[in-house]
Amino acid sequence: MTSQAHKLAHRLKEEARALGFDHVGIARAERLDEEARRLEEWLNRGYHGTMHWMERYFELRVDPRKLVPGARSVIVLACNYFPEREPRHPDAPRVARYAWGRDYHKVLKKKLKQLLRWLSEAAGTEVQGRGFVDSAPVMERDWGRRAGLGWQGKNTLLLRKGEGSWFFLATLITDLELPPDPSVRTDHCGTCRRCIEACPTDAIAPAGYLLDSRKCISYLTIELKDAIPAAFAERLEGWVFGCDICQEVCPWNRFARPHREPDFEPHPRLLEMTRADWEALTREAFDEIFYGTPVKRAGYDKLRQTLQLVLEA
Nearest CA to 297 among 207, 218, 195? 218
Domain borders along the chain are 3-84+101-174, 194-312
What distances in angstroms separate CA 246 from CA 12, 152, 294, one per listed residue? 33, 13, 20
Taken as a whole, the chain contains a residue count of: 313
pLDDT tens digits in sequence order for the chain, 313 residues long: 789 999 999 999 999 999 999 999 999 999 999 999 999 999 999 999 999 999 999 999 999 999 999 999 999 999 999 999 999 999 999 999 999 999 999 999 999 999 999 999 999 999 999 999 998 899 999 999 999 999 999 999 999 999 999 999 999 999 999 999 999 999 999 999 999 999 999 999 999 999 999 999 999 999 999 999 999 999 999 999 999 999 999 999 999 999 999 999 999 999 999 999 999 999 999 999 999 999 999 999 999 999 999 999 8
Distances 252 to 11, 55, 289 between C-alpha atoms, Å? 29, 32, 31
Any idea what the Cα angle at residue 141 is, between residues 135 and 142, rounded to 5°?
115
Alpha-carbon separation of residue 174 from 13, 107, 154 (angstroms): 15, 20, 31
Catalytic residue among 134, 202, 263, 277: 134
Catalytic annotation present for 226: no
Contact (Cβ atoms closer than 8 angstroms) between residue 217 and residue 229: no
Q: Would the CA dihedral through 132, 136, 138, 141 be positive or negative? A: positive
- The DSSP 8-state label assigned to residue 104 in this structure reads H
Hey, what amino acid is at 182? P
